Amino acid sequence: GAGVSQSPRYKVAKRGQDVALRCDPISGHVSLFWYQQALGQGPEFLTYFQNEAQLDKSGLPSDRFFAERPEGSVSTLKIQRTQQEDSAVYLCASSLGGGNEKLFFGSGTQLSVL
Amino acid sequence: GIQVEQSPPDLILQEGANSTLRCNFSDSVNNLQWFHQNPWGQLINLFYIPSGTKQNGRLSATTVATERYSLLYISSSQTTDSGVYFCAAGAVRGYSTLTFGKGTMLLVSP
């Protein structure tokens, strides 16, 4: 696609519900990143994929967070048993290669947990 | 991990003014990028600049890696430049994950 696409744009969940956030990176991009952005803060790293391999998941805040990229393109970030502190904007980004390259972000999914 | 500090935290300018935003980082980097987050939340990549100087229209950036800082220059500012500017750095050690600063919020008034 022309850019990184994320869906849904907004998600409201009741505390305890499971949610799944989708990211469709730029076609052909090898690297895919998930970031979490709280209000008024900079994005914080969650996890990194190179093709289908999850090379770094050190930023995932708890075992309720799980990410996958099974075919090396589309990725899903799943949050189980959502809590109010999970409310944030979840940003997906991709880059062409596996190294240090220009990063392109999607518009994000704004998650509100009530 | 690497620490990234940006200054100033907030900046108010009149249209037409120039400004300089600074980013300091605590470790050697092989990845340094500047982003603009518009009022709708979209992060736009302005520069990939681990070292040296680049220019793109009214914007330019310089990274002095040996002294661990980067500068973003905005000349002849316009109201559409308003938003939050983020610097993000990736340390030489480890994967190419970027650590973001807290940003500089810029408001350009007509």
CATH number, domain of B104, equals 2.60.40.10
Residue A37 sits in a domain whose CATH number is 2.60.40.10
Which tens digit of pLDDT belongs to each residue from A44-94? 999 999 999 999 999 999 999 999 999 999 999 999 999 999 999 999 999
Beta bridge partners of B22: B7, B71
Range of the domain at A106: 5-113
Taking an 8 Å cut-off on Cβ atoms, the answer to whether B97 and A43 are in contact is: no
Give the pLDDT confidence of B15-71 residue by residue, as tens digits: 999 999 999 999 888 899 999 999 889 999 999 999 999 999 999 999 999 999 999
The residues of A whose Cβ lies within 8 A of any Cβ of B are 31, 33, 35, 41-45, 48, 55-56, 59, 89, 91, 93, 95, 98-105, 107-108, 110
Paired sense of beta strands A10-13 and A109-113, if any: parallel
Per CB-CB distance under 8 Å, the chain A contacts of B35 are 105
Amino acid identity at A36: Q
Nearest to A100 among B43, B86, B90 (CB): B90
Give the start-end residues of each E strand in chain A: 5-7, 10-13, 19-24, 31-37, 44-50, 53-56, 65-68, 75-79, 88-95, 104-105, 109-113
pLDDT at residue B92 in the model:
75
| The pLDDT value given to residue A20 | 98
Q: What is the domain count for chain A?
A: 1
Q: Name the domain count of chain B.
A: 1
Between B22 and B93, name the one with better pLDDT: B22
* Residue of chain A whose Cα is closest to the Cα of B100: A42
> Residue B100 sits in which domain range?
4-109
Interface test with A, best of B56, B93, B97, B104 (most A CBs within 10 A): B97
- Give B75's contacts (C-beta < 8 A, 6+ positions apart): B18, B58, B59, B60
Give the pLDDT confidence score for residue A48 in this predicted structure. Answer: 93
